[in-house]
Amino acid sequence: MSGLIALFKRDLSVAFQQRSELMQPILFFVLVVSLFPLGVGPESAILQKMGPGVIWVAAILSSLLGMERLFKDDFQDGSLEQIILSGMSLPAVALIKVLVHWLTSIFPLILLSPLWALFLYLSEPMYWALVWTLLLGTPILSLIGAIAVGLTVGLNKGGVLLALLLLPMFIPVLIFATAAVESASLDLAYNGQLAIIGAMFLFSLALAPFAIAYALRVSQT
C-alpha cells in the first residue's frame, strides 16, 4: 500500500512539473468552447441547445490530448517494466495512473464548468445536469482510454490509432450525457440517464483496471 501511495504522489509531482503538457488539454478545451459562439452566432437559444454537446465533445477531445502520455514516459525510461516486476498489484497501479490522469487533465475542465454555463446561457437545471454527467462520465473516458493506451504504448506514433480506437467507444457516454442535459432543459427528470452513466462507470471501474494490466503485460512482451 505504501508503494501505491508513493506512486500516486510521484505521478502527481511529475504531472505538475510538466506544466506545458498539463495545460494543453485545458487550453484546447477553452479554445473550442470559446470559438463555438463565434461560429454559430450569439443567439442564446442556439447556444443553450448546442452548448452541452459542444462542452462534452471538447472534453472528450481534450482528454485524448493527454491520454497518450498515460504510460508513455514510464515505458520509455523502463519504469513500467520495473513496476511490473516489483510485485505490486498491476491493476491497482493502473487505477492510480488513471486517477492521476483524471485529476490533472479532466477535473480542471469540470471546475471551469460554471464559466461555460454562463458563456453558453445554460439554465441552472442544465448546469447541474451537466456537472453530474461530467463527474460520472469523464472517469469512464480515462478508464476505457487507458486500455487502448496500454495496447499502443509501444508504438512510436500511436496517437492517431488511439483516437480511432477510442472515439467510437465514447459515443454512448456522449449520447446519454447530452440527453440528460436536454431533459433538464425541458424540466424533465434525468435520473434514468444518470443511472445509465453511473452503471457504465461502475462497470468500467470494476473491469478496466484488469484489462489495463493485461494490455500493459502484452505491450512488454
Q: What is the pTM of this model?
A: 0.86
Assess whether pLDDT exceeds 70 at residue 160. no
116-149 pLDDT tens trace: 888 888 888 998 999 999 999 999 988 988 888 8
Regarding predicted confidence, which is higher, 20 or 211? 211
Q: Name the phi and psi angles at 89, rounded to 5.
A: -65, 115
* pLDDT value of residue 157: 59
pLDDT of 158 strictly over 60: no
Following DSSP, what letter does each residue of 51-100 receive, concatenated? HHHHHHHHHHHHHHHHHTTTTHHHHHTTHHHHHHHTT--HHHHHHHHHHH
Dump pLDDT digits (tens) for 58-79.
888 888 877 777 777 777 777 7
Task: Take residue 160 and report the three cell numbers written for it.
Answer: 492517431
**pLDDT-wise least confident of 109-123, 157-171, 197-211:** 157-171
Under the banding of pLDDT at 50, 70 and 90, the label for residue 150 is confident
